[in-house]
Amino acid sequence: MRIPVHARRAAIRCAYVALRVYWFIVRPQMSGVKCVITHGDEVLLVRHTYGNRAWDLPGGTVRRREVPVDTARREMHEELGREITDWVALGELYVCANHHRDNLYLFHGRLDDRRLELQLSELAQAGWFPRDKLPADSGRYVRPIVARVRA
């Protein structure tokens, strides 16, 4: 039996609230990835179903014993339904937000077409935007990360 999308979204929102409480108490150091996915001169941004609903870069948390580039591959396959094998490292970014410290590994991947199969329990929306016309309600780190990608 497949759980309906609205029920999965509700479960993820509840889990996110519990994570925020954990982060507030423990103040952990975490590792994650943010991926700049491009098609020509357009950048893919997503809106999550939980947390801050601003347009953001897709990404996720690095699992124990997982190499960050493997996290990028896994997350793009899980969230976007796409296999990207050719990644360019864009460096790292250290972020303090939501009561935890993140070491974000940044990657750039290209797609030949705009086709996506969104995982709707985590992602509410995805959109392709010209690099020089990113939405005003983009996340705090979107522009500085996108700026690391060479034209």
Q: Domain map of the chain by residue range? A: 5-146
- For 16, the token pair is 């996110």
pLDDT confidence tier of residue 23, bands split at 50, 70 and 90:
low
- pLDDT given for residue 110 in this prediction: 97
Q: Is the pLDDT of residue 10 over 90?
A: no
Question: What's the pLDDT tens digit per position in 91-105?
Answer: 999 987 766 678 899
Closest CA to 47 of 15, 17, 9: 9
Band of the pLDDT at 9, cuts 50, 70, 90?
confident
Q: Which band of pLDDT confidence, cut at 50, 70 and 90, is reported for residue 125?
A: very high
Predicted TM-score (pTM) of the model is 0.82
18 vs 147 pLDDT, higher one: 147
SS3 content of the chain, % helix, strand, coil (to 5): 25, 35, 40
CATH 3.40.50.1360 is right for the domain spanning 5-146: no
CB-CB neighbours of 86 under 10 Å:
7
Question: Can you give the pLDDT at residue 72?
Answer: 98
Q: What is the pLDDT of residue 22?
A: 67
